[in-house]
């Protein structure tokens, strides 16, 4: 019987997928389009994403509440963040149009952005500086655009092909939010901030829900009504997540068939100034001991940051969920 070896991302080298054109610049967790020309296609093996800045209106101007409270602006964009996230969760996408959309796209082959240290959370919003060291948004935005730290949402979409027939669940954690819609249904919601509990006037509750002791206990007992089928997964390599969230969050089980295509949408967001995002999978087995797999759509492996931690361990046998390009979809539709 073959034994899967669990590895920290620090323990093996990096294999880089070659983008179709040089204009797609490789960053630690993403490929970013850096040309002034419009990016017509997404490189094979990547999910295309769009980044939205919730601190600015659709024209790019800072919202009045952010200008007035530059020292603690994140407390004044919470409702915008929650309303936008909940709209995305409910497939309305109406509130997101009121926020600034970065004009150049990005694309990812996995989402495994480690917790980083040395990020200054204090002080006023510095527009001249543009972005801060360790700010997660800077990984997804072109250098030609001003990436203001924090207060952003990323939406990544595509179609993927199941690598095998199985029943599995997405597993993850985030600062602040990680959601996955697969096959048309939200099957994972995790992190500090949970949009599903937001009712329009309870942003404080929604922002602390992920670490709430009663919520953690309900998840552990399978009794949370908004997160059916969820479970908490504890690893020796994930002590921070065990202590803060009760473990990594395992979402609703999903069944797939090898070779079949499925639509996927991954939503991440950060209301403060820095974040982390881990998206893995685990096959559902009777003994509940299947290894965690990195969810990836190409041969890339995560790059380890010099100022952060290695993150939850996963198997080096993590399969590739191949993407379906727009061209292939059109060709298939004509048959």
pLDDT score of 144: 62
Q: What is the pLDDT of residue 13?
A: 34
Q: How many CA atoms lie within 13 A of 174 on its CB side?
A: 31
**Percent with pLDDT over 70 in the chain:** 77
Q: How far apart are CA 24 and CA 22, in angstroms?
A: 5
Q: pTM of the entire structure?
A: 0.86
CATH class for the domain made up of 6-334? mainly beta
Query: Using an 8 Å Cβ cutoff, are 45 and 31 in contact?
Result: no
Cα dihedral 170→175→177→183 (10° resolution): -20
Q: What is the model's pLDDT at position 141?
A: 80
**Per mean pLDDT, which range of 120-129, 131-140, 160-169, 242-251 is the poorest?**
120-129
Domain ranges of the chain: 6-334
Q: Which residues contact 86 (CB under 8 A, 6 or more apart)?
A: 195, 196, 198
Q: How confident is the prediction for the chain on average, in pLDDT? A: 81
What CA–CA distances, in Å, run from 65 to 101, 132, 166, 320? 19, 21, 48, 44
Residue 290: predicted pLDDT: 94
Q: Are 137 and 270 in contact (CB under 8 A)?
A: yes
Please tell me the least confidently modeled range out of 54-68, 108-122, 294-308.
108-122
Q: How far is the CA of 243 from the CAs of 99, 203, 218, 289, in angstroms?
A: 34, 23, 16, 20
For residue 122, name the pLDDT band (cuts at 50, 70, 90): very low
- Tens-place pLDDT, residues 293-320: 999 999 999 876 655 567 899 999 999 9
CA dihedral 65, 70, 75, 79 (to 10 degrees): 30
Asked if pLDDT for residue 180 goes beyond 50, the answer is yes
* 249 contacts 179 by C-beta, under 8 angstroms: no
Residue 160 has pLDDT above 90, yes or no: yes
């Amino acid at each position: 019987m073959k034994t899967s070896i669990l590895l920290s991302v620090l323990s093996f080298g990096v294999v880089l997928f070659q983008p179709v054109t040089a204009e797609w610049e490789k960053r630690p967790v993403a490929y970013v389009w850096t040309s002034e020309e419009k990016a017509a296609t997404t490189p094979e093996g990547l999910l295309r994403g769009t980044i939205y800045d919730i601190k600015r209106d659709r024209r790019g101007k800072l919202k009045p509440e952010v200008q007035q409270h530059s020292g603690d602006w994140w407390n004044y964009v919470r409702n915008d963040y929650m309303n936008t996230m909940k709209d995305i969760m409910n497939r309305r996408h109406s509130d997101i149009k009121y926020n600034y959309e970065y004009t150049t796209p990005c694309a990812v082959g996995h989402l495994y952005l480690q917790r980083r240290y040395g990020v200054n959370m204090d002080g006023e919003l510095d527009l001249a500086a543009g972005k801060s060291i360790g700010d997660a948004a800077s990984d997804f935005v072109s250098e030609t655009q001003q990436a203001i730290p924090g207060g952003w949402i990323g939406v990544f979409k595509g179609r993927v092909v199941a690598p095998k027939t199985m029943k599995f669940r997405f597993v993850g954690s985030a600062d602040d939010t990680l959601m996955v819609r697969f096959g048309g249904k939200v099957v994972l919601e995790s992190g500090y901030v949970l949009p599903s509990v937001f009712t329009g006037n309870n942003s404080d509750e929604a922002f602390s829900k992920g670490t709430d002791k009663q919520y953690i206990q309900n998840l552990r007992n399978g009794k949370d009504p908004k997160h059916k089928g969820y479970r908490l997964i504890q690893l020796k390599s994930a002590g921070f997540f065990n202590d803060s969230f009760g473990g990594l969050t395992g979402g609703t089980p999903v069944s797939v068939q090898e070779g079949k295509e499925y639509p996927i949408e991954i939503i991440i967001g950060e209301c403060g100034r820095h974040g982390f995002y881990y998206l893995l999978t685990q096959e559902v087995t009777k003994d509940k001991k299947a290894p965690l797999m990195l969810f990836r759509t190409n041969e890339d492996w995560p790059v380890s940051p010099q100022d952060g931690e290695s993150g939850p361990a996963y198997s080096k046998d993590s399969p590739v969920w191949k993407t379906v390009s727009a061209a292939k979809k059109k060709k298939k539709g004509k048959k």
